[in-house]
Chains A and B, each alone.
Chain A
Amino acid sequence: MDKPILDRVMPILCDPITGASLRKEEGQFISETGRFPIIRAVPRFVAGDDYVSSFSFEWNTHYRTQLDCFRSDRSSEEQFIKKTGFGPGDLRGKLVLDAGVGAGRYTDVVSRWGADVIGVDLSYAVEAAYKNFVDRPNVWIAQADIGALPFKPQSFDAIFSIGVLHHTPDTEAYFKKLVPLLKPGGSIAIWVYPKEGDYLIRNEWIRFVNKIPSRMFYAWCRWFVPWAQARLDRPLVGLVRRVFPFSTQGLGVENDILDTFDGYSPKYHGIHSPEEVEGWFHDMGLQQIRRPSDWKTCVRGIRSASHH
């Protein structure tokens, strides 16, 4: 049975290549120019998980680790508010795009706030997200590429993309593909990796580490992170931590294993200055551009109400 949110999704859906409207027929979405199957209940607008297979692996392995609804805390909600500046009242009843949904950490937050949320991801993380939100009538999940999304221009009241765009081949270009999807007056908030600290060090490692098969590197993270965390006061581990920064976020060892894997396994790892990110917002004519918190590369802006 279709979820109620589909009534809001159908009018904005389109063929990601031609822009032609889509209709739902016989277990697939069809336009005059293309067919997009629904496989295991998730619409697929891409043929595979392309360059993001590590995310397919990690989010289907850790499909509950970071979701507040399973953790019984508010860690993701607090982080979402800090990184976007959005509060519950800002998004209630709005149509919101989560660009790079993963297992649905932030979709969980925003859908509980009362927004209708469309979550897209290029990876098979969508299967984890679908499973997490199968009973939530205001969440719709699809596998799609941020570079060619199946939505018509000016469709969304708000868009957020937290920790995702730097994993695309071109952070700036992919950000700029999101902006036209905003309605006039709509808000967009993103966070990308800053060009500083541990992110700079990981940038040196990543081309070597992302060649390791995901399962092997994950097995190593499962051994290494708990081992190192139990020895943080030892000088050698202190040195290792400076040379190979691993996660110690205080949200439990499973989160730290996931976050360490996540930090070193992707194919792309863009790092950017706050000024650079703000420049993208200016380029796109966004207004009221601001950084919602001391996370320097979190930037938010509003599409001009007169923008056509």
Chain B
Amino acid sequence: MNTESRPGSVVIFGQVVLVSIYLLIVGLWLLIAGRIKAEGIGKIIRRPFRPPYAGELRDIQHDDGNCWIATLPCELLSDKDGASRLVVCEDDRLLGPAHCGHEDIREGGGGRFSHWGAQVYFSTRDNSDPRTNGRRYHVRELT
């Protein structure tokens, strides 16, 4: 039914560029005017200028079910910002999958984790207690 001719690739490229510029301007205005909140923007701007974080998980607390919580520095980008780059390790093995829902971690365990705000919600591979199973839990931020 579409018998009319399609625009050429140069025209489409031009349209994409124009719309991108327009949306960028509108987006900046909406942010500056406070019409849209984006709390993570400062962290994203600072991210290239600081070294990737790495450290041990300490003061681990039981959340519920198979889920455990540890505190992390608040300047890290997390899933709350839609942008966590954190990996969690059990001894030298990576845990995962990442970016899981918290209820999913509580029920499923098995290494699922989520980096949310200044906390990491995680589970161990065998759903044992990370405070007493003798293993080391540490995190690092991917570049």
Contacts and interface: CB of A to CB of B under 8 A. Distances in A.
Interface of A: 60-61, 127, 131, 201, 204-205, 208-209, 212, 215-217, 219-220, 223-224, 233-239, 241-244
Query: Which bracket fits the contact residues of B?
Result: 20 to 34
B18 interface: yes
Contact of B15 (A131, A208, A216): A216
A60 B81 CA distance: 36
A125 B62 CA distance: 54
B12 A219 contact: yes
Given A131-B1, A224-B16, A242-B38, 13 more contacts: A61-B2, A201-B36, A205-B30, A216-B15, A220-B23, A235-B44, A235-B85, A238-B40, A238-B44, A238-B77, A238-B83, A242-B40, A243-B27
Contacts of A237: 83
Nearest to B83: A238
Contact of B19 (A201, A205, A212): A212
B81 A208 contact: no
Interface of B: 1-2, 7, 12, 15-16, 18-20, 22-23, 26-27, 30-31, 35-36, 38, 40-41, 44, 47, 77, 81-83, 85
Contacts of A239: 38, 40-41, 44, 81-83
Interface majority SS (helix, strand, loop, mixed), chain A: helix
A204 B35 contact: yes
Contact of A219 (B16, B22, B23, B77): B16
Given A204-B30, A205-B30, A241 B82 contact: yes
Nearest to B12: A219
A40 B23 CA distance: 38
B19 A220 contact: yes
20 contacts: A60-B2, A61-B2, A204-B30, A208-B22, A212-B19, A212-B22, A215-B15, A219-B7, A219-B16, A220-B16, A224-B16, A233-B83, A235-B77, A235-B85, A237-B83, A238-B81, A239-B40, A239-B81, A242-B82, A244-B27
A225 B38 CA distance: 20
A216 B38 contact: no
Contacts of B12: 219, 223
Nearest to B142: A233
Given A204-B36, A219-B16, A60 B26 contact: no
In this complex, which of A233, A234, A237, A241 has the most chain B Cβ atoms within 10 angstroms of its Cβ?
Answer: A233
Contact of A243 (B15, B38, B83): B38
Contacts of B83: 233-239
Contacts of A60: 1-2
A244 B23 contact: yes
B9 to A, nearest CB: 10
A237 B82 CA distance: 8
Nearest to A264: B23
Nearest to A221: B19
Contacts of B40: 235, 238-239, 242
A219 B44 contact: no
